[in-house]
Amino acid sequence: MTPSVEAIYRSESRRVLATLIRVLGDFDLAEEALHEAFFVAVERWPQEGVPDNPRAWLVSTGRFKAIDRLRRQARFTPLLQEQADALEATDWSAEDVEDDRLRLIFTCCHPALAPDAQTALTLREICDLTTEEIARAFLATPATIAQRIVRAKGKIREARIPYQVPSLAELPERLDSVLRVIYLVFNEGYSASMGADLTREAFTREAIRLGRLLMELLPEPEVVGLLALMLLHESRRAARTSVSGELVLLSEQDRSLWDASLIVEGCTLVARALTTGRFGPYCLQAAIAAVHAEAPTAAETDWPQIVGLYDVLLRATPSPVIELNRAVAVAMGQGPLAGLQLVEGIFQRGELTDYHLAHSARGEFCRQLGRIEEARSAYEKALSLTQQIPEKRFLEQRLAELHLHKQ
């Protein structure tokens, strides 16, 4: 691709795909149409110039390519001719494209689909994650993820699941799945599951945009809480890596680099959600992020308040990952031994044994306690489990420091 086409593909391809799915009513046909539209763009745009509205141009081109494809195939399957005629006779609206990705999320998160299929399909279609990347997030094989996606598309087609945002009466029961998927999209951007970069700004930006759309549609406390949580995490982006791209721990970040406007907006939303008294896990996580955001320095963080919030969160949503995060907060307030004992308890139950951040935390606690061999073993285990290059370099640096300490 030429640079301009490649840039537009990165910024617009998922939006174009969402609209093509709405227009064509078929995932696979829409994906083929998307690729054909960009192929035409690669041929024409260098000579003709980029259109004023490249997204609309791509949708229109993809639509015509899909109609042509159906007509060619109609020689063997006559019903496809009717489908092509119906598509050609139907005008598509360029006015609703901003909401198409939200419509697509609700379609992918329809209760007729299994939860793991909902998430896999959304990450694939909304975010353009590869099956390998999704498999990494699910701790599954790429073949398993591919099968889930194929089955989910088939279910949508066979059950004629509508491509639309549910009515207000239906929204609440559909909300949990959508919130979960939006947060998974954000997390993949906030801390990429693999690759050369720690973050993927396009994913966090898109998740926040979807969160804003959803809050306009349904300003429930947990929707507000999720948006607040994403904004507060996103506020730290510039400080999370060094100029050379190395990972910077929260305790060592230059807080002057934090985005004050996102912090103000996030904290305001947290307060708004908590005052309803109907808050859940996203609101509580946002409240924890707000305590971090409001601390002038790492040393002035209110760790007892954070531990207390984790206690409430654990009662609402028991999870070993939340326990791990609580253990880190306990260690910050009470010392590394207290944190290590909690992490060891999680491992003894057979949980998080394949989670690199758990072994990394154990390594850090042992390092601080001067238990060098145990720290080395934990860091090596964490290193073997992570696929993210900045995290690998961080762990390798920790291991090098332990080697020097031993000498």
What are 74-94's pLDDT values in tens digits? 666 666 666 666 666 666 665
pLDDT range class, residue 382, cuts 50, 70, 90: very high
3-state secondary structure of 302: coil
Q: 275 to each of 75, 269, 325, how far by Cα in Å?
A: 63, 10, 25
In this structure, are residues 152 and 121 in contact, taking their beta carbons and an 8 Å threshold? yes
Strand 387-388 versus strand 194-195 pairing type: parallel
Alpha-carbon gap, residue 67 to 82, rounded angstroms: 10
* Between 361 and 133, residue with greater pLDDT: 361
Determine what percent of the chain falls in helix, strand and coil, rounding each to the nearest 5. Answer: 75, 0, 25
Q: Helices 115-125 and 97-108, interaxial angle, to 10°?
A: 150
Q: What is the pLDDT of residue 147?
A: 94
In this structure, are residues 120 and 138 in contact, taking their beta carbons and an 8 Å threshold? yes
For the stretch 24-55, pLDDT in tens is 888 888 899 999 999 999 999 988 899 988 99
Q: What is the pLDDT of residue 88?
A: 64
